[in-house]
Amino acid sequence: MSYNYILVAKPEPSVSLITLNRPKALNALSSPLFEELNKALKDADDDDAIGAIVLTGSEKAFAAGADIKEMQNKTYADAFKTRFLGDWAQLFTIRKPIIAAVSGYALGGGCELALMCDIILASPTAKFGQPEINLGVIPGGGGSQRLAHVIGKSRTMELVLTGRNISAQEAAAWGMVSRVVGEGEGEVVREAVEMAKVISSKSQIAIQAAKEVVNAAYELNLAEGLRFERRIFHGSWDHVFAELKSSPPSIPALPGVGPR
């Protein structure tokens, strides 16, 4: 399938690499771009050979936000009737881990898109922020909520109320990204692909279950989350025994477990 606003590649047989590709608009997240992104994510999710997905942009911009030119003339009624930005939620139906490899600007919707991914790796050039306040609006893709979960109220208020951008190093210190990776061009993508390859080498059932339970921590209270984790954990043994019974086992031997 050919795309106009993204590139899709397989840098490893088990890794899908999706690159946002609207360089002239700094990867502004227009509706057609998001439609293509959702399609590519679903294709990767449906492909048994793929174990993890890397999402990236350019050196200058992961994404500079939702497309201001597309949004600026929309009335409330237009936005409501067309469920504007509603299809962003499709990203949550993806069961395979998505790693954001961020260089350059990740602003507004771009920052929110990175936050929707499961892991964020940042290059030293990355800049995160929610500058919507400078346009007289507020975040609409989950920024106020997800940032508050991840970096706390005071820091979220600071970003959302002042529109200040933060550096990769500050984002790492605040726990927003896993780590800052490499100096050279493309280094963050290479590292993300390596990480995706490691993830792909594990039991895919366990990986998808792990993603589900960690994400549940952002939706459930602690008691519900612990109960949910335990149920999924109990269930996860089924496939371990099933795979141990089949020969040869495709997962590493577990000490003391199974008919060995």
Q: How many CB atoms lie within 10 A of CB 13?
A: 10
The single-letter DSSP state of residue 253 is P
Interface pick for ligand HXC out of 15, 36, 112, 128 (rule CB under 6 A): 112
Catalytic residue among 51, 65, 109, 110: 109
Interface pick for ligand HXC out of 3, 21, 25, 202 (rule CB under 6 A): 25
- Write down the least CB distance from residue 200 to ligand HXC, Å: 29
Catalytic residue among 101, 122, 132, 210: 132
Helix axes 109-116, 143-151, angle to 10 degrees: 60
Q: Residue-wise over 88-107: b if at least 16 C-beta within 10 A, else e?
A: beebeebebbbbbbbbbbbb
Structure tokens at 67: 């497309």
Q: Is 243 a catalytic residue?
A: no
Among the listed ranges 13-21, 22-30, 186-194, 211-219, the one in contact with ligand HXC (CB under 6 A) is: 22-30
Site string for ligand HXC, 60-89 (x = CB under 6 A): ----xxxxxx---------------x----
What angle is formed at CA 86 by the lines to CA 80 and CA 89, rounded to 5 degrees?
Answer: 160
Q: Does 131 bind ligand HXC (CB under 6 A)?
A: yes
Structure tokens at 142: 């989950």
Considering only residues 151-210, where is the footprint of ligand HXC by CB under 6 A? Answer: none
Q: Is 112 a catalytic residue?
A: yes
Burial class (CB in 10 A: 0-12, 13-18, 19+), 199: buried
Q: Is 109 a catalytic residue?
A: yes
Nearer to ligand HXC, 22 or 211 (CB): 22
Interface with ligand HXC (CB under 6 A): 25-26, 28, 64-69, 85, 105, 107-109, 112, 131-132, 135, 139-141
